[in-house]
């Protein structure tokens, strides 16, 4: 059960945990400015460099459900400690790597450490803060992550140009390992006065039952498709295809293209806390906001891909600013998982939700690359794959929005407490309560 109010201790625990998340984002995005140095160091071309990103995001996505289960079984403090140690080890390995294979292994290790972080922080928020503050603190957490993104741009570029590859990454890895000390000393899984839950042995059958129980909840499924639909397009652009699209597809200088991508960072930094405040005060607006963003994203992509000739910077800037809000809006998926699952299953449900956007990112990034090769570098055709994935996610989100609403109405009819009071609309119809828990 969540506490009635947040204490100073709660905030100190969050600050410690969110600093680990900041480091994770820094490590995740650090390769974006180290690409040229990596190509020289490992003697590889653009295709091999792209594998670094796809591997790391793939490992991250594959580990989200196991991470959620681990957090529920062993507690976020232990998992977060493991995350810091793995991140530091991965960055040390990258700093010392002199071959492509070892460098690839290092990025895979970093992806593993990164994967253990965000779900752990969200689980701590769920335990130490009132439910009404969950969306707001989660949005602040996401915003702090973008500070890590910024640290992985100009500061890291200057370090690579000065001390060089090995000194930079070995130093960062060593400092990351030291952060495990405050995590062990400061972070606690439960509020003061609440006993630690009993940690039972992990059995495969029990784990499978835990995952199935979370997945059967309509609110979890709605959170999954919300996250899938909203966060993948900004990721595809910022992690891999944004600069090539601007430079090769739009004829923009590389320096200007890199600067344009900072719109995603500042848009998310500004939009996250604002959105978190709104949905914390008015949780009934969560899904209308998701629907509004998806409609806006569809129009934005229609403009970008339908423009005759090169898109002017005066259009690209606002378009990227609108698309950047997908990151903050995706936080609504985690709020849905938190609201519709018991606290002992929130980690598992959060992991299920978090896997969605990164699966969409990985698949779409690969498809864009394949289409670019098939079409001889036609970005207009290749980026249509983003629109297709957006349409798929929107359709499934709408299906589970309706089913989740039916689930809430059925619970109200039985006299049960519900996290959000909804007003029945004509389009709700008379959906049987049992239908809300059956997969499409």
Helices and strands counted in the chain (H then E): 21, 0
Which of 289, 355, 300, 290 lies closest to 322, judged by CA? 300
- At residue 195, the pLDDT reads 62
Q: Residue 353: pLDDT above 60? A: yes
Give the global pTM: 0.77
Q: What is the mean pLDDT of residues 195-221?
A: 76
Instruction: Report how far apart, in Å, the C-alpha atoms of 291 and of each of 138, 199, 284, 355, 358 are.
Output: 20, 40, 13, 20, 20
Give the containing element (helix H, strand E) for 389.
helix 384-413
11-49 pLDDT per residue, tens = 999 999 999 999 998 888 777 667 667 878 888 775 677
Domain spans of the chain? 1-186, 212-440
Nearest alpha carbon to residue 211 among 405, 69, 393, 41: 69
pLDDT at 182 over 90: yes
Cα separation, 250 vs 350, in Å, equals 38
Longest dimension (CA), the chain: 66
Q: Do domains 1-186 and 212-440 have the same CATH topology?
A: yes
Q: Is residue 436 very low, low, confident or very high in pLDDT (cuts 50, 70, 90)?
A: very low
180 pLDDT higher than 80: yes
Give the pLDDT of residue 428. 65
Q: How far is residue 244's CA from residue 379's CA, in Å, rounded to a whole number?
A: 9
Kindly report, residue by residue over 82-102, the tens digit of the pLDDT: 999 999 999 999 999 999 899
Which pLDDT value is given to residue 438?
A: 41
d(CA 339, CA 219): 8
The hierarchical CATH code for the domain 212-440 is 1.20.1250.20
Residue 269 confidence (pLDDT): 81
**Correct CATH for 1-186 of 1.10.10.10, 1.20.1250.20, 3.40.50.1970, 1.10.240.10:** 1.20.1250.20
pLDDT 10s digits, 274-329 = 888 888 788 888 899 999 999 999 999 999 999 998 999 999 999 999 999 998 89
């Amino acid at each position: 059960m969540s506490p009635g109010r947040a204490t100073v201790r709660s905030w100190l625990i969050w600050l410690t945990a969110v600093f680990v998340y900041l480091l994770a984002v820094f490590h995740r995005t650090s390769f974006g400015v180290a690409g040229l140095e990596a190509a020289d160091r490992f003697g590889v071309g653009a295709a091999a460099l792209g594998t670094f990103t796809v591997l790391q995001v793939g490992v991250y996505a594959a580990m989200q459900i196991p991470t959620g289960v681990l957090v529920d079984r062993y507690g976020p403090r232990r998992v977060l400690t493991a995350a810091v140690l793995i991140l530091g080890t991965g960055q040390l390995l990258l700093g010392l790597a002199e071959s492509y294979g070892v460098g690839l292994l290092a990025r895979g290790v970093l992806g593993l450490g990164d994967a253990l972080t965000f779900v752990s922080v969200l689980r701590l928020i769920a335990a130490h803060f009132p439910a009404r503050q969950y969306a707001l603190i989660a949005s602040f957490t996401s915003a702090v992550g973008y500070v890590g993104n910024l640290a992985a741009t100009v500061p890291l570029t200057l370090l690579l140009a000065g001390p060089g590859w090995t000194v930079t990454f070995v130093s960062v890895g060593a400092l990351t390992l030291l952060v495990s000390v405050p995590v062990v000393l400061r972070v606690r899984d439960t509020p003061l006065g609440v006993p630690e839950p009993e940690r039972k042995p992990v059995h495969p059958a029990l784990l499978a039952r835990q995952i199935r129980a979370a997945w059967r909840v309509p609110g979890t499924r709605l959170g999954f498709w919300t996250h899938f639909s909203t966060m993948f397009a900004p990721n595809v652009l910022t992690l891999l295809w944004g600069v090539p699209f601007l430079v090769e597809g739009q004829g923009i200088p590389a320096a200007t293209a890199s600067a344009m991508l900072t719109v995603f960072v500042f848009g998310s930094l500004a939009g996250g806390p604002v959105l978190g405040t709104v949905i914390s005060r008015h949780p009934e607006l969560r899904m209308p906001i998701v629907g509004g963003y998806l409609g806006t994203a569809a129009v934005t992509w229609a403009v970008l891909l339908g423009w005759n000739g090169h898109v002017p910077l005066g259009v690209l800037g606002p378009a990227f600013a609108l698309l950047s809000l997908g990151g903050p809006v995706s936080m609504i998926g985690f709020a849905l998982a938190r609201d519709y699952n018991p606290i002992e299953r929130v980690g598992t449900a959060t992991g299920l939700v978090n896997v969605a956007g990164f699966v969409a990112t990985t698949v779409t990034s690969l498809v864009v690359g394949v289409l670019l090769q098939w079409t001889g570098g036609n970005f207009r055709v290749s980026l249509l794959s983003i629109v297709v994935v957006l349409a798929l996610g929107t359709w499934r989100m709408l299906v589970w929005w309706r089913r989740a609403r039916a689930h809430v109405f059925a619970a109200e009819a039985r006299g049960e407490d519900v996290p959000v009071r909804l007003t029945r609309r004509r389009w709700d119809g008379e959906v049987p309560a049992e239908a809300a828990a059956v997969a499409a």
